[in-house]
Structures are given as structure tokens and as C-alpha cells.
Chains A and B, each alone.
Chain A
Amino acid sequence: MADIIKPDLSVVKQIISSGGESLKKCYQCATCSVVCKLSPDDSPFPRKEMINAQWGLKDKLVSDPDIWLCHQCGDCTAYCPRGAKPGEVIGAIRKMTIGHYAFPEFLATMVGNIKYLPLLIAFPVLFLLAVLGATGHLHIPEGEIVFGHLMPHTIIDAVFVPVFMFAAIVFAGGVLRFWKNIHGQCNGKCSFASIIPALISVKLEILAHNRFRKCEVNKGRAIAHMGVLYGFIGLAITTALAVFYLYILDRHSPYPLNSPLKIIGNISAIALLVGITLMVINRFKVKAQAGIGSYFDWLFIWVIYTVVLSGILSEVTRLLGIAMIAYPIYFLHLVSVFFLFFYAPYSKLAHMVYRTIAMVYARKAGRD
């Protein structure tokens, strides 16, 4: 039975404008599918994704788990004879897919476009200023620097828990729709019961970075990503500890530098900083072969930088006792964390969710 396809020029334009400008250069030689060490033998990627994207077949693309199996090593881009940069194009397709599954979609459009960046920043800034204003904290507190003086933990929780919940709900909606789309391609092997063990093994694989290690051109990518991922995990643990300290032990910040919470937190922050810096260095190093990445990628990098640097600097300036700098930086830190979480379902961070799902699918469907 013939497959009725609806070529869509607007989809092509969308991919081109969001980092896939080289998309149309592909002439389907399939060098990419072969040089990609992550690509399975059975209907490998990214060659087929390239033609689907060239024809603007959005339905096929957003329900294609393979785009998430790509770890953007850039091997395909390095060997592409036509300069079509499949790695970058797949990145753009992922971005489109994140937008497709996110709700409301306009937020995704805004996250993907640099011209909305001021607006995106303005929202948390104004919101948090309003919160400070409303709670009477719109000034630099006197005395010893305690960030809780600027924004007490109750307010923090009142703001960030809903933000987190919002992101989680948006993610859940996206994940469900995504799973529905890919489920059909699983040949009945993706029963709900079998997903949990698959999920666990995928998580372990993600932690081990086995897939990243297969990258050829961008060999440093595994270590960099590991730094970022473990940094985030460490910070998550730190946050959980903080909750434990605060609500169970009733110990309030600031904590001494030798407290386990501080140690884990600082090490994680440094891991994140090193990881993200390596990522930037790698990108420049393999720019010519593997591509530099799109705005979408870079926005994510800069947000992480802002989060980690503002976190470290607020700690340092606090310890140095420079209130005039410490508090504003802390405020910046809060803004960036807000930014990171609130926009997570629309940003590159969403990959951690969709990639995990896709890898589960791949494991079940025997495509890894």
C-alpha cells in the first residue's frame, strides 16, 4: 500500500531556520548512516531523517525515536561529502520535536528564537522582583550575608516548587504523546510491564555514557557530557539534602564549607562548570568537521553557565562578605534557575526526557 506523503515547505523552512540550514544539501549517499557508530544496522539513521526533513514530513520526524538515539557526536557531519551536516540537522529536528510535544507551543517557538530572549529573561526577572517587592525584600539586606534574608526559603519553595511542577506536567504531556507515536513502531514489544526494567538499564547506560564513547570525531564529548550530567545529579542530591537539613534537621543556611551538603554541592558545581566548559572547547575544536551547533544548543550552554557561575560567585562573594555583589548575583542565580526549570520542556534540556524514552524504545525494539 502506498504511503501518502504530504511534503511541507513550511516544515523545511522551520528546520532550516532553527539550525538545520544545511539540510537541503544532502544528496542521500548514506555516508552518515555508516560512519555513525550509534546507528543500528536495521534502517539506520540519519540518512532517512535527512530525506524526511528535506521533504518536510513532520509527522514522520516527530515520531521518529532515532533522532534521540543521535548523540550529536558529529561523525556524520565530518564525513558528509556535501556539507549537509546531518548532526546539526538532527539537532534542529530534535528542537522541532521538543516544540511539537511541548504545551503551549508558542513557548517553544520563543525558546527557539533569539529575538524572544529578552522577553524570556524579563519574565523570571520581573516575576522574582515582584515577589521580592510583594514580600518587602526589594533591598540589600544588612548584616551578615545570609541569602535567606533576601528570599526566605518559604518563598523560594512557593516559587520554585510550582515552577518545577509546571515543567513536570508539560513533560508528562509530551512524553505521553511521544510514546503514543513511537509505540506503534515497536512491533508489540513495548508492553508497559517490560518498560521499567528497560528504563533502569537505559538509565545505567546513560550514566555510563557508553553511547557517547562511540563518538569518533568528537572524542571529548563523553567526558564533557558526563561532567554536566553528574554535576546536575550532584546538585539534585544537594537540593534533596538541603530539604532534609531544613525540614528534618531544621538547620538553616548558610552551612559551613565542611558540611556534606556543601562538599557535594561545590564538587557538583565544579563538575558542571568543567563539563560545560569542555563542551564549549570541544565544539570549537571540531567546529570545522562536526559543526558548531545552533542557537538552541548555545542557549542551553549559556543558561547552564549562568546557573553554575552565579551559584559559585554568590557563594564566593558571600564568603568574602561583599553584600553589594553577593545579593545581586544570588538574584541572578535565582533567575537563571527559574529560567532553566521553567523553560526546560521547551529547551534542549528536554532531551534528557525524550532521549531516555527513545532509548527505552530502542532497547525494546532491538535497535541499540
Chain B
Amino acid sequence: MDKKLGVYICSGCGIGDSLDIEKLTKIATKTYKVPVCQTHACLCSRDGVNIINKDCEAEGVNTIVIAACSLRANQGVFAFGNDRIVERVNLREHVIWSQPAKNEDTQMMAEDYLRMGIVKAQKAQLLDPYKPAEEISRIVMVVGGGITGITAALNAAKAGVEVVLVEKQDNLGGFSSKLHKHFPINPPYQDLQTPPHEAMIKEIKANSRIRVYTDAKIEKITGAPGLFVVSLKQKSEIVQFRVGAIVLAAGFVPYDATKLTHLGFGVSKNVITNVQMEELAKNGKILRPSDGKQAKNIAFIQCAGSRDKDHLPYCSSHCCMSSLKQALYIRQQDTNAAAYIFYKDMRTMGQHEDFYVRAQEDEGIFLTKGEVVSVQPVAGDKLIITVEDTLLGKSIQVEADMVVLATGMMPATGIKIEVEETITCNPEQCKPEDIAVPSDVIIPSDILNLEYRQGTEIPQLKYGFPDSHFICFPYETRRTGIYAAGCVRHPMDIGACIDDATGAALKAIQCIELTSQGKAVHPRVGDMSYPDFFMQRCTQCKRCTDECPFGAINEDEKFNPLPNPTRCRRCGTCMGACPERIISFKDYSIDIISSMMKAIEVPEEDEEKPRVLVFMCENDAVPALDMAGAKRLKLSPYIRVIPVRCLGSVHLVWITDALSKGIDGIILIGCKHGDDYQCHFVKGSELASIRLSKVKETLDRLRLESERVKMVELSINEYSLLPGIFSEFMETMEKVGPNPFKGF
């Protein structure tokens, strides 16, 4: 594309009162020889936008620099179509709202930002969405035929999508099919209901859009969203097909009760699990295993192996409801039977409280809080349960004919607890400190068998549950196009599984839709840029494949990276990682940012006007800076901000370049990392901090103080900290003195 730049400077919102607009115009027209430059008193008004539109039509302007307010304001107003490049220079929030008016430093700041914007616009290229050679598959594959899987399959099919449903057992239904009854999940939340799977399985069989493979195991999945190739082994036959996205609904396995001998499991036949209880109830009469007699007193022990640091530390969410339900089974069978329930906390959340009330109406259900210490068999096939800290007394013993352990759930993805060997760099290529990048926990649970460089399954957070940025965007895993749902993701009851499955099905369909348009999925939804690898200069160091938080890049046998653009989330972490700087996006590259830095005018040392470069995460830190501006917080006039997609994309060369150009200091402001990370790309800010720890070596080489580079974690709502962060850094700069490289 032949570029024709147009620079439009707004003088509204006080910009014209604070800045010398004419001088700004001169920078565009004189320094950068921009062919079209206009100013307007209110650029976002219909009149203002019309000027730009007219220039596009009449003058053929196709690269538009708007020097006005924040990118986040008027985003819809300043949209000129996919065939034009738009670059925004924020003179309002970042300059005049946080700097004194009619001031030399303020003017210099605005001029620098305008230069940076123009340079960026000059360098950026028009985006060309990724179109793979093969056709995008629009099929959704659902892995797991339990209630979550069949819900996902059915709901995707009902939206007109082709579905493949894979189940390792020889029938669908999963745990739901083992249940005698289910506790109520619909209003009025009172009565036990038939488990919902049967009707749904019928619907699945009747739906021509759903292909079901039972007794099937996934041998291998290769490819990427829209382009997955699945090899399936059904009995002895290998089946191969293509799918576009995957819903992982592999479910759970009950916690291994043999580890609960202190609760009598394995010691007495009459101690069973809640799963066994369902089987007994489903088969008709609930009889005591030891002698087949009807049990009169049955004790339920809640949190058997749950909420227990020696077993499962978490709560399995459904067990309180399930035991209340099973207590009703007993009572419905025999009106003289008694069910004792020992709980830690009765967790009948939300409207489930109504069912708790319902169960409490039953005179034969006995409830108390308490910590069960032991279950011991005594004569007559009876069991003595010792419970402490009960509501009935400090320590009590109760006799029962039978004990039911309310055991919890373990995610199917967490079963083989052998962490895959940490993959490090090619020893010949990398320096020892590079190994510091922490590898992900990926348990080879033999479910998806992905042919991904970083491991065969979805990365896990704690306890073997697949990862997810689980508050705002619960479906985002770090394997694009693969969405976990149901008990594999979080312990939950059937009602929650159904809700969760429906959402995951939507995400799968959406991923295929966006991929087919060459667009990124969350969090840069709709982004049409993707990384380009200049392979001739690749040294096979494996940094990019190692550090990509999303496992987007595979390798060939010679360690050459094999990018999968449809897996890519466009964070640029690979770009920041590559020591050879061979990775770039059309609108975001090492060169673009370097050029922007070069556009900053660094005053001579004797002017005593230091310059500090701030790389800011555009998702959180930049909005925080906007808010600081909107609040008219006064910020240091010596900072120059460059928004970045993620701190993970910050390349160390930018830092060395900046320092060697005379910039006095550099701050990286990004999201919190660690267990409670806030980084939208999961690992970006963490990787940045690891890389930064290595920058010291470079600084030493340049004989510069390490205080010149700093990383700050900032939450989006902590904008009020910004003035302090900057002024404190300026004090440090004053202490270490000006950069000796000024003027070189």
C-alpha cells in the first residue's frame, strides 16, 4: 500500500489552550513532510470527522494520525475502516490533563508524542488477516460424554454446528447415568428429580449434526484452532478427522477412598462412598453390604478426604447436597430409618438452601457440624463414629449400621501426578540464566494427547485443574480453541455443569468463527495481526517456543519454530523473547517501537531535563494513566510513554537502545504476576520480570547503574499511585545522574 499520511490535531478539551498547536503542525508538515495536516476545535464532532473522511476520499489519505484524546475515547468515532491505518496520539489525558498549561516541558512532551505517533504510522503496515492453506473446519469436538459433554454437544448442534462427541466408555451419560436421582436444580428446588442425561442422550441420537464415538480414545491431536486433526482409536480401529475447536469435558474421578482408612473404608464392608451409595439406591433396596440386611442407622461423613490438607484441600461443592439427597433415599425407603449427617459447614449455596430446608423437614435426618475423627467397627457389624467439636458436645460417639463417605472430585486432567520434565533450551545455543523461565505444569493425563511443543495436555494451575483466568474470563485456557467445562475445571454439581457446558460450546463456536475471519480470540478479539518469523536469521534457540504462554509455536526436529497463527493470541511475547529479533507484527515490531524511541528528542545534559521511557501495558496501565489524566493528577513532565501489547512483548534491545540513545531511565509498568496474576496473557509480566533480571549484565557492560531500569506492578485502579511512582523514579534519576550516553 502506498501510504498517504494525514495528521489531525484537535485543539478541543483545552488542548489548544495548553499547547502551541501551530508548532505541532509544523512538526508534522516540516519535520515529517506529512502531506495533509489539519487542526480542528473539536475533532470528534461530526464536523471534525467529516474533515478526515473528506481527506480520505478526496486526497487519498489512508494513514491517519489523530492527535487528540485517548485511544479509549471515541474509538467508534475515529474508525475509518480496515483498509486504513489509524494511529492515535493522546494529547489530552497523557499531556495537557496531567501537565501545566503553556509550559515548555508540556509542549516538548506533546511534540515527542506527535513524532512518535507519526513514526509509528509511517512504519505500520495494513493488516492482512491470516488465511491458512487448508479450509477451516467448523466442527466442534466435545471430549467426554458425561452431562457436561452431552450438554455442550447438544447445545452446539442446536445452534447449527456440526459436532463430534467422544466418550471413552461404551455409553454416554458419565456419572449422571450412575445416579439414582438428582437433587433439584430447577425451581422450586424441592423434590428429587430424574437425572437429566437420559432425555438428552435421546436427543443426541436423534440429532443428525452430532457424530458420537463411544468406547473411543484420542490418540493424537495435531494442528491448531480451525485446523485440528484428531486421531481416534475406537476399539482397534483408528479414525481420523478434522475439527475446528474442542470442548474438554473429561469430568472427574472420585477421590480414592482407600486412602481414608481412618474413616473405616476398607476396614469395614459397611463403610461405602457416596458413589457406591448411588449404585445401591439405583439397584433397588439400600442394604448393608456385610449381611444384606436393611440398615436402620446410616451415618454420612461429609468432606471425607475433602477440605483436608492431607487429602484434597478444596471443597467439591456438591457433596452436601448429595448427602442430603441420599439421606432422603434412606428415609423414603424406611420411615423408621435414621440418617445422621456430620458436616464441617453445610454448603447449600443459593437456592439450594431451599432443598436444605426441605431435607430438614424430614424427622429422620439428623444433622450436626463436627469433625469426624474415626470410624471403628464393633460387634454386630456395627460402626462407632467418633466426632469432635459437634453441636451436641465436644466429643461424641454414635453407633451406626452403615457409613457413607461423601468423597470429593478430582479432575480427570489431574490424575497422573508426574510432572513432565522441564524443557529447557538447546544447551549449545543458550546461556545458563535462560533456564530461569518457569515451565508449566502439564500432567500427562492421556486425554487430549496434543502434539504441542509444550506438553500433551492443557496446562494446569493447582490440584490438576486446567488453568483459566477464572474470574472475568473463566473459559480462557492457555490452549487456544480448547475450552474446559464441567467438573474437569472446577468441582460442581450437575446444574452448574449444564450452565458451564453451554458456555464452553459457545466459546468453541466463536473461536471457529473468529479464526475463519483471520481474527484473534480473547483478549485481543478481532486483532488481525499475527507474528511473522524471518526464518533466515533464526538460530534455533527455542526461546519463542519456550516462552509463548499459549503453546502456539511448535518445533521441527532441528528446533526451527513452527508457528501456528490460529493458536496465537497476539501478545507478542515471542517477539520480546527472540534474541535475533526475527519476529514481528505488521503493526507492532521491534523496529516500530525502536523508531518511536528514536523520535523522542533527548535534551542535552546541561538542560537538566531528564528523559524516562515508560513501557506500559495497554490493557491496564495505560487506562490507569488515562484515569490519572482525567483526575488531573500531575505527572512528571519528563516521562515518555510507549504502550505495549503486554510487558511480555518488551524486548531487551529497546532498553539498551534507549539507554545508548541517552534516555536516563526506563520503567516497565504492567500487571501483577504470581499465583494471583492479573496479566491477560497469563505469563507476560512474569516473563518481563525474568528478562529484566538479566538486563543487569547489559547495564554492567554499558557501565550503567541498575537503578536505571525498573519494573512496577500496577493494577488498573491504582492510577493514584502513578504520580508517586514517577516522582520517586525521578529522584532516583537525580541521584544516579544523567545518562553519560547523552549526545552520542
Contact = CB atoms under 8 A, between A and B. Distances in A.
Query: Is the A/B pair a real complex?
Result: yes
Interface of A: 1-7, 9, 12-13, 16, 24-28, 48, 51-52, 54-57, 82
Given A24-B360, A24-B365, A27-B346, A9 B336 contact: yes
Given A3-B395, A51-B391, A24 B362 contact: yes
B179 to A, nearest CB: 26
Q: Which 7 A-B pairs have the closest CB atoms?
A: A2-B397, A2-B395, A4-B397, A51-B391, A3-B393, A3-B396, A12-B363
Given A51-B368, A51-B392, A57-B392, A7 B340 contact: yes
A55 B363 contact: no
Nearest to B388: A2
Interface centre among B297, B361, B391, B397 (most CB of A within 10 A): B391
A5 B396 contact: yes
B398 interface: yes
A27 B324 CA distance: 14
Nearest to A1: B395
Contacts of B241: none
B392 A9 contact: no
A7 B398 contact: yes
B128 to A, nearest CB: 63
Nearest to B365: A24
A24 B363 contact: yes
Interface in B331-379: 336, 338, 340, 346, 356-357, 360-369
A7 B365 CA distance: 11
B317 interface: no
A54 B366 contact: yes
A4 B363 contact: no
Contacts of B368: 28, 51, 55
Contacts of A3: 392-397
Interface in B126-183: none
Contact of B356 (A2, A27, A57): A27
Given A2-B397, A5-B398, A55 B362 contact: no
Contacts of B539: none
Given A3-B392, A3-B396, A82-B357, 13 more contacts: A5-B393, A5-B396, A5-B398, A7-B297, A9-B364, A12-B364, A24-B361, A24-B363, A51-B368, A51-B391, A55-B368, A56-B366, A57-B392
Nearest to B336: A9
B371 to A, nearest CB: 13
Contact of B366 (A1, A16, A55): A55
Interface in B292-316: 297
B594 interface: no
Nearest to A30: B391
B386 interface: yes
Contact of A5 (B346, B361, B394, B397): B397
Contacts of A5: 392-393, 396-398
Contacts of B297: 7
- Determine the interface band of chain B, counting residues with CB < 8 A from chain A: 20 to 34
A13 B395 contact: no
A6 B384 CA distance: 11
A20 to B, nearest CB: 10
A29 to B, nearest CB: 11
A28 B395 contact: no
20 contacts: A2-B396, A2-B397, A3-B394, A3-B396, A4-B399, A5-B392, A5-B396, A5-B397, A5-B398, A7-B340, A7-B366, A9-B336, A9-B363, A12-B363, A12-B364, A24-B363, A27-B346, A27-B360, A55-B368, A56-B366
A24 B392 CA distance: 15
Contacts of B364: 9, 12
Contacts of B391: 28, 48, 51
A21 to B, nearest CB: 9
A163 to B, nearest CB: 38
A175 to B, nearest CB: 27
Contact of A4 (B356, B365, B394, B396): B396
A54 B367 contact: yes
Nearest to A26: B360
A25 B357 CA distance: 7
Contacts of B386: 2
Which of B360, B363, B364: most chain A Cβ within 10 A? B363
Contacts of A27: 346, 356, 360, 367
A164 B360 CA distance: 44
A250 to B, nearest CB: 61
Contacts of A16: 363
Contacts of A9: 336, 338, 363-364
Contacts of A13: 363
A48 B369 CA distance: 13
B359 to A, nearest CB: 9
A6 to B, nearest CB: 8
A24 B396 CA distance: 20
Most buried by B among A9, A48, A57: A9
B571 to A, nearest CB: 49
Contacts of A24: 360-363, 365
Nearest to B346: A27
Nearest to B390: A51
A55 B398 CA distance: 11
Contacts of A12: 363-364
Nearest to B394: A3
Contacts of B340: 7
Nearest to A10: B336
Contacts of B392: 3, 5, 51-52, 55, 57
Contacts of A25: 357, 360-361
Contacts of A7: 297, 338, 340, 366, 398
A7 B364 CA distance: 10
Contacts of A48: 391
A2 B371 CA distance: 13
Contacts of A82: 357, 360
B441 to A, nearest CB: 40
Interface in B383-434: 386, 391-399
A83 to B, nearest CB: 9
Nearest to B387: A2
A16 B365 CA distance: 14
B201 to A, nearest CB: 38
A12 B391 CA distance: 17
Contacts of A6: 399
A28 B390 CA distance: 11
Contacts of B357: 25, 82
